[in-house]
């Protein structure tokens, strides 16, 4: 996942400004498909999220080859609130979801409901 925060730019600032401030699952999927996959986790070690900084993206200028450990050939967007389409997507592979996590800051328990999307999960 750290390769994604280091290498996926978010020029339209949809879901954040990229890096530790966020982006979208679609941008991450497009990056992985375009690059032929994601590198081994040791290439991008974890950096503390408290500093809001990411490691420099490696191998983007074509001079460094990074062996790929995971790949993707494409992705589809599932219509919002369509359980049947979601189950169909799950039957074919991994699914990423987006949720609004703004109200989770002081969350202690119970049902948390909000109208916006600000985070993604897998």
Q: Which of 6, 110, 117 is nearest to 58 (CA)?
A: 6
Q: Which two tokens stand for residue 44?
A: 């991008």
Is the pTM above the cut of 0.75?
no
Report how far residue 40's alpha carbon sits from residue 105's, in angstroms, rounded to the nearest whole number: 32
Kindly give the confidence (pLDDT) of every residue in the chain, 122 residues in length, as a single tens digit, with 9 standing for 90 and above.
Answer: 778 877 887 777 766 666 666 678 888 888 888 888 888 777 776 665 566 566 677 765 544 556 777 778 778 889 988 999 999 999 988 888 876 677 777 777 777 666 665 656 55
Cα distance between residue 22 and residue 120, in whole Å: 9
pLDDT of 66 reads 66
């Amino acid at each position: 996942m750290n390769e994604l925060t280091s290498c996926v730019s978010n020029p339209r600032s949809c879901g954040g400004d990229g890096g530790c401030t966020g982006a979208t699952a679609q941008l991450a999927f497009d990056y992985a498909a375009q690059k032929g996959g994601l590198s081994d986790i040791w290439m991008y070690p974890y950096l503390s999220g408290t500093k809001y900084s990411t490691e420099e993206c490696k191998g983007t200028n074509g001079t460094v080859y990074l062996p790929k450990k995971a790949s993707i050939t494409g992705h589809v967007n599932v219509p919002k609130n369509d359980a049947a389409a979601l189950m169909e997507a799950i039957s074919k592979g991994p699914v990423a979801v987006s949720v609004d996590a703004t109200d989770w800051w002081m969350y202690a328990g119970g049902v948390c409901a909000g109208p916006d999307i600000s985070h993604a999960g897998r």
